[in-house]
Amino acid sequence: MTLLDECGIMLEPQLGMEMSDLVASASLAEQLGFGFLFRSDHLLPTDDRRGIASPECWTSLGAIAASTSRLKFGPMVSPVGFRNPALLAKMACTLHSFSSGRLQLAVGAGWYEAEYKAFGYPFPKFSQRLGEFTEALDIVTSLVREGRADYDGKFFSAHADCLPRPHGKMNVIVGAKAPSLVRLAGRLADEWNVFVSPKEDMERMMKGFRSSSKGRAVKVSETGPYLIGRNASELDANAALQARKLGSSSSPGETVARLKKRNAPCGTVDDFVAQVRSRRDLGITGLYFQTLVPENTDMTVLLRDTLREKV
């Protein structure tokens, strides 16, 4: 297995993509040899813009399943507050079976209050969302791993079989940064995914994760934005394109500086390679690069070439 097999593209369609663009991006990711394609599960643009295309997540995952043949794909992540967990597990099993075992089921507790309220979902305090997520994860893992759940909780219940059965083992991912959720990932998930964080924070989270996983083989992956260029001029051009796409007035230098402050992989090829290697040294084996300007296919190709030939 190569590094490219462990890496993927992360799309944010709520920031303005049509379904056709999303399918085209998935096809390109497969063609270039990436192992994964993830997309966010948001109901509204998360930068507070309104009036732009924001295709629904699971509908689009069906289109991705039908239009690719090798690529592993999934949401990153599906908030359990949007869908009953037993229904979510059934949806996942259906797509996993149809795609010959390629669906990656990533779940989380949700964070964007505006979209909950806009679509009529309650958005409780974190303590309640933690309780809901804990119950939902119990139900989801029972259904996708064992085929049945008999569960009565404070927030959710399920007494159901999950058919059709998945085609092989389904990878259950917990996306989390809060310590309680990170510990939950260590105990129950097949993979823990964390959004890009400063190195000190990541080391702290890794310590809590390892203490809770107690030697279980759980994959650790990271999702976050990136910028790469063959030289400083190309890096600035890619940064300017990203700022325009997001409606930002930031200069290229400001965009690059902001990403570096967040510890996101960002720089010319040699700097980028060093940053990827540092993540691997920390124990992060999966890297899902948040592609905010999917139409900038030249940068996607450069990312592929760098991961395949330099790291």
Model confidence pLDDT, tens digit, residues 179-225:
999 999 999 999 999 999 988 899 899 999 999 988 889 999 999 99
Q: Which tens digit of pLDDT belongs to each residue from 91-142? A: 999 999 999 999 999 999 999 999 999 999 999 999 999 999 999 999 999 9
Residue 67 confidence (pLDDT): 97
Q: What is the pLDDT of residue 166?
A: 79
pLDDT (0 to 100) of residue 165: 85
**8-17, 48-57, 155-164, 186-195: which has the minimum mean pLDDT?**
48-57
Q: Which residues pair with 287 in a beta bridge?
A: 7, 222
58-70 mean pLDDT: 97
CA 218 vs CA 198, 209, 286: distances in Å: 22, 10, 11
Which pLDDT score is estimated for 41?
98
pLDDT at position 93 is: 96
- The answer, yes or no, to whether residue 62 has pLDDT greater than 90, is yes
Query: Residue 168: which pLDDT band, with cuts at 50, 70 and 90?
Result: confident
pLDDT digits (tens, 9 = 90+) for 245-273: 988 899 999 999 999 999 999 999 999 99
pLDDT tens per residue, range 280-302: 998 999 999 999 999 999 999 99
Give the up-direction half-sphere exposure of residue 244: CA atoms within 13 A in the CB hemisphere.
Answer: 8
Computed over every residue of the chain, the mean pLDDT equals 95
State what percent of residues in the chain have pLDDT above 90: 88
Q: Stretch 4-29: mean pLDDT, rounded?
A: 95
How far is the C-alpha of 97 from the C-alpha of 148, rounded, in Å? 16
The 8-class DSSP code of residue 217 comes to -
Query: Has residue 48 got a pLDDT over 90?
Result: no
> How confident is the model at residue 215, as a pLDDT?
83
Name the pLDDT band for 178 (thresholds 50, 70, 90). very high
| Residue 34 falls in which region: left (phi positive, over 0), alpha (psi -120 to 50) or beta | beta
| Rg, Å, the chain Cα set | 19
Residue 48, classified by CB atoms within 10 Å of its CB into exposed (0-12), middle (13-18) or buried (19+), is exposed
Q: Which domains, and CATH codes, for the chain?
A: 3-229+284-309 (3.20.20.30)
pLDDT at 214: 87
| Closest C-alpha among 307, 291, 299, 302 to residue 38 | 291
Q: What are phi and psi of 158, to 5 degrees?
A: -160, 130
Residue linked to tokens 């990932």 = 185
157 token code pair: 């219940």
Q: Where does the pLDDT of residue 72 fall: very low under 50, low under 70, confident under 90, or very high at 90 and above?
A: very high
Predicted local distance difference test score (pLDDT) of residue 40: 97
C-alpha span between 209 and 181 (Å, rounded) = 9
Which 3 state secondary structure label does DSSP give 7?
strand
- Look at residue 247 in the predicted model and tell me its pLDDT: 87
Percent of the chain with pLDDT over 70: 100
Q: What does the DSSP assignment read for 23-76?
A: HHHHHHHHHHT-SEEEE---SS-TTS--SS----HHHHHHHHHHH-SS-EEEES
- In this predicted structure, the answer to whether residue 1 has a pLDDT above a threshold of 80 is no
